[in-house]
Amino acid sequence: MTETGKQLKLDKLSPRQLMSLDACTRCGECQKWCPVYTLESKEDVTPRAKIKYLKKILKGENSGLFGLFGRKPGPETVARFTKSLYECSCCNQCHFVCPARLDTVELWENTREAMYEAGMGPLPEQKTYCENLKRDGNPFKKEQAHKAEWIEAGLAKGTLTEMPELITDNLAPVLLFLGCTASFDEKINMVSQHAANIMSHAGVRFGILGPEENCCYGKLRRIGDPEFREKAVGNIDQINNLGIETLVTACSGCYKTFKNDYARIGKQNYEIYHLAEYIDLLHRQGKIRFEVPIEGKITYHDPCLLGRHNGIYDAPRRIIAAIPGLELVEMDRNRQYSRCCGVGGGLKMANHDLQEEASVYRIKEAEATRAEFLTTPCPTCYSGLAGAMAKAESPLKIYHLAELAARSIGIN
């Protein structure tokens, strides 16, 4: 029993996940690759330690069930486990290097949900974040009515070429789902403008939801808030009722949520693309051409949620290769070994300093390529990396990939 009198329930973990706890051989391979361990160097934060603590807690909490017997864990064990479970960016690197191929992130997320329900997690800052997100419908503590202000800002600055229409008016087959970061964050909302400009330029019949666009609520799932399911059902119903054929999202967090998490909850009657995949598709279909050269060496940061979580490695690299003048130089850690920038999984709100250090580490890896530019197609990775540039005192210039694509098309 926890301090709240509730029990950490086993039913959040599948039989396969419970068995996987015994499959960990404690070989330590995950430790070498974990971006949090690189910065914290404490055994507690390693995946193998999380698994060890989880087993201990489950045995103590569920004596007699599933043949598990053990002593009730002390508060110190629970506190250490909670901190290590939540100070993790869910980057999925441990899964890729684990010889037993343990499905670690799914294990972390299901355990977080069990912890949430038992009152053992999340960390206080993450709890506040979830409460605000559910109250406001977005994580920026802003009114949803302001979600489309990127349009006015873009039209006023001349960076948005056309006023995008609401999909509820034009009933277009393609929904451009921008996500909260690319809508509300004034330092990032140029991503929405570039996305809309590229779609208009290519002649795509698309629309946006504007103030009716809800958060994807993916962070609730990452942090383990069980209300995620109800929010997901609401979004799936809303979007299915639009009758669209295709959803294009500018955010890799939204992409993972639609593609992986919603898929387990309900049927979505539309194809799902990340913006980088869709730009690549438009280019391969001859609907856009990259003609304006951008001269220089560039390195590419694979967002965990697109790369390791969804296998999207080639589409963004094809865009870079197609832009005349750009020369791609890879970082040592790329594709499935790309080092996480630290922004995901609720780590940023749990420990902002640690997230910033993770971004600085990644920037230093980018600098080692001797590239002049760093790019990524994820607004959240962009925000983490761009926010750490000053601390890293980096000479690199960072661009969101949609900006490079738009510039080379000759849009702005």
- Starting at the earlier edge strand, list the strands of the sheet with 246-249: 206-207, 174-177, 246-249, 271-274
As measured in angstroms, the least distance from the Cβ of 18 to ligand SF4 is 15
Looking only at the bridges linking them, the beta strands covering 326-328 and 271-274 are: unpaired
Closest CB to ligand SF4 among residues 183, 355: 355
Whose Cβ is closer to ligand SF4: residue 35's or residue 384's? Answer: 35
Minimum distance between the CB of residue 54 and ligand SF4, rounded to whole angstroms?
11
- C-alpha–C-alpha distance, residues 307 and 25, integer Å: 26
Cβ at position 396, least distance to ligand SF4 in Å: 24
Which of residues 16 and 284 has its CB atom nearest to ligand SF4 in the complex? 16
Q: Which is nearer to ligand SF4, 112 or 400 (CB)?
A: 112
| Minimum distance from residue 256 beta carbon to ligand SF4 (Å) | 13
- Given the complex with ligand SF4, which of 32 and 141 has the nearer CB atom? 32
- The least distance separating ligand SF4 from the CB of residue 111, rounded to whole angstroms, comes to 12
Angle value at C-alpha 276, between 270 and 281, nearest 5 degrees: 70
Closest CA to 89 of 70, 104, 74: 104
Q: Return contacts of 316-322, CB within 8 angstroms, 24+ apart.
A: 316/276, 316/280, 316/377, 316/401, 318/280, 318/283, 318/284, 319/276, 319/279, 319/280, 319/283, 319/290, 319/401, 319/404, 319/405, 320/375, 320/401, 320/404, 322/283, 322/290
Counting Cα atoms < 13 Å in the Cβ hemisphere of 48 gives 18
Instruction: Using CB under 6 A, list all residues that contact ligand SF4.
Output: 24-30, 34-36, 47-48, 88-94, 98-100, 102, 104-105
Please name which of 233, 399, 389 lies closest in space to residue 320, comparing C-alpha atoms.
399
State the nearest-atom distance from the C-beta of 205 to ligand SF4, in Å.
Answer: 39
State which residue, 36 or 315, has the beta carbon closest to ligand SF4.
36
**DSSP 8-state class, residue 65:** G
Residue 261 or 403 having the CB closest to ligand SF4: 261
Shortest Cβ 120–ligand SF4 spacing (Å):
18
At a CB cut-off of 8 Å and minimum separation 6, what does 135 contact?
Answer: none
